[in-house]
């Protein structure tokens, strides 16, 4: 049955009133959240974290007042840490990181928040699965960072006893051998063996290919270096150091024209690396591109002056 114009008018009026009511209802939570947040930050900043934390959790993500949201987030991190509410701490960190990505106050607090979350996860791992591979891996990494080379090696070896084909461990053993302050005389041979075993387990490990290339480069085995460094760039197209090493190896073979492409890529990926600019400048100069070479040498000098004072010239 057709509807009269009057009926359409009534329907339109009813819909308009309904939309208006919904808009009013939807606007209320923002006011409530702001009010609750003001109360919550006052509680938090007066030392009442137990009462403040639930209110901060409910309101922090929805505030439109950025100054208040920042206070709520920072107070939330502090209270969640104090009360050891790790889920809440993670959520406040997410909000702050999302809403204030470059704020120095926020970044400072996030450093500590992520450190606390990391420490808590490490404690839980150590308590719940102390002999698991992840726990051994965490211990090994910690010992390696602290310079406890022998203990780190023992931890890595324990992992391989549990799983001889666990990826990444032979690579880390090689890295450890190359990092020791007083390595054995045949440390490079040992490292090569570990890296070969890593690639047998994980042929896509660009880091293993890169280190093999660097070892060959130091030994002046340029054909071997070019092979491994080329493979590293194929496995990881954003591996700036691998492109640099490849360009250097090609230049050592006097293949300057071929060296230009990987060195240009290295400069794009690592524009503040003076060695990359110097190596590219050298390849340009040896290829007859004098102006391009001078430009790269100028950048190299500028980067060196902008970096650590007194650094040696790559030449």
pLDDT in tens, 132-168: 999 999 999 999 989 999 999 999 999 999 999 999 9
Give mean pLDDT, residues 307-311: 51
- pLDDT bucket at 10, cuts 50 / 70 / 90: very low
Whether domain 213-310 has CATH 1.10.3090.10 = no
Is the pLDDT at 286 greater than 60, yes or no? yes
What are the residue ranges spanned by the domains of the chain?
33-126, 129-203, 213-310
Burial of 47 (0-12, 13-18, 19+ CB in 10 A): exposed
pLDDT band at 8 (very low <50, low <70, confident <90, very high): very low
Rounded distance between C-alpha atoms, residue 98 and residue 65, angstroms: 15
Percent of the chain with pLDDT over 70: 87
Quote the pLDDT of residue 35.
Answer: 82
Handedness of CA 288, 290, 294, 295 (dihedral sign): negative
Name the residue with tokens 């450093």.
111
pLDDT at residue 313 tops 50:
no
Most confident of 77-86, 132-141, 183-192, 206-215: 206-215
Polymer length of the chain: 315
Cα–Cα distances in angstroms (integers) from residue 17 to residues 8, 10, 12, in the given order: 14, 11, 9
Other beta carbons within 10 angstroms of residue 88's beta carbon come to 20
223-245 confidence digits (pLDDT tens): 999 999 999 999 999 999 999 99
- Residue 126 pLDDT grade (very low, low, confident, very high; cuts 50, 70, 90): confident
Instruction: Identify the CA nearest to 154 among candidates 139, 132, 135, 175.
Output: 139
Same fold, 129-203 and 213-310: yes
Rounded CA gap, 292 and 298, in Å? 10
Tokens coding 289: 């591109």
Average of per-residue pLDDT across 257-266:
98
Mean pLDDT, residues 269-282? 97
If you average pLDDT over residues 259-285, what whole number do you get? Answer: 97
**pLDDT greater at residue 11 or residue 67:** 67
pLDDT at 9 over 80: no
In CATH terms, 129-203 corresponds, of 3.30.390.50, 1.20.58.100, 1.25.40.10, 1.10.760.10, to 1.25.40.10
Flag whether pLDDT at 24 surpasses 80.
Answer: no
Average per-residue pLDDT in the chain? 88
- Token couple for 307: 């970096």
- 63: alpha, beta or left, given left = phi > 0 and alpha = psi -120 to 50? beta
């Amino acid at each position: 049955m057709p509807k009269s114009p009057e009926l359409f008018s009534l329907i339109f009026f009813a819909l308009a009133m309904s939309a208006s009511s919904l808009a009013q209802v939807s606007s209320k939570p923002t006011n409530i959240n702001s009010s609750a947040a003001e109360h919550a930050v006052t509680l938090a900043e007066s030392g009442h974290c137990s009462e403040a934390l639930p209110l901060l959790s409910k309101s922090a993500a929805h505030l439109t007042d950025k100054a208040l949201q920042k206070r709520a987030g920072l107070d939330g991190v502090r209270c969640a840490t104090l009360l050891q509410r790790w889920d809440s701490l993670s959520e406040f960190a997410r909000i702050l990181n999302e809403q204030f990505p470059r704020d120095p106050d926020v970044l400072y607090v996030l450093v500590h928040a992520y450190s606390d979350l990391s420490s808590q996860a490490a404690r839980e791992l150590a308590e719940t699965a102390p002999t698991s591979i992840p726990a051994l891996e965490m211990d090994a990494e910690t010992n390696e960072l602290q310079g406890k080379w022998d203990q780190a090696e023992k931890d890595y070896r324990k992992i391989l006893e549990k799983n001889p084909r666990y990826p990444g461990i032979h690579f880390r053993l090689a890295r450890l051998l190359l990092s020791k302050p007083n390595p054995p005389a045949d440390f490079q041979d040992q490292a090569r063996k570990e890296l070969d075993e890593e690639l047998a387990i994980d042929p896509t490990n660009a880091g293993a290919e890169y280190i093999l290339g660097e070892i060959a480069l130091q030994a002046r085995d340029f054909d071997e270096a070019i092979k491994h460094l080329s493979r590293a760039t194929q496995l990881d197209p954003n591996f700036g150091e691998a492109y640099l090493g490849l360009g250097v190896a090609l230049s050592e073979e006097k293949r300057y024209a071929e060296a230009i492409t990987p060195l240009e890529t290295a400069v794009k990926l690592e524009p503040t690396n003076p060695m990359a600019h110097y190596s590219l400048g050298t390849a340009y100069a040896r290829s007859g591109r004098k102006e391009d070479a001078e430009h790269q040498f100028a950048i190299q000098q500028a980067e060196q002056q902008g970096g650590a004072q007194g650094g040696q010239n790559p030449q």
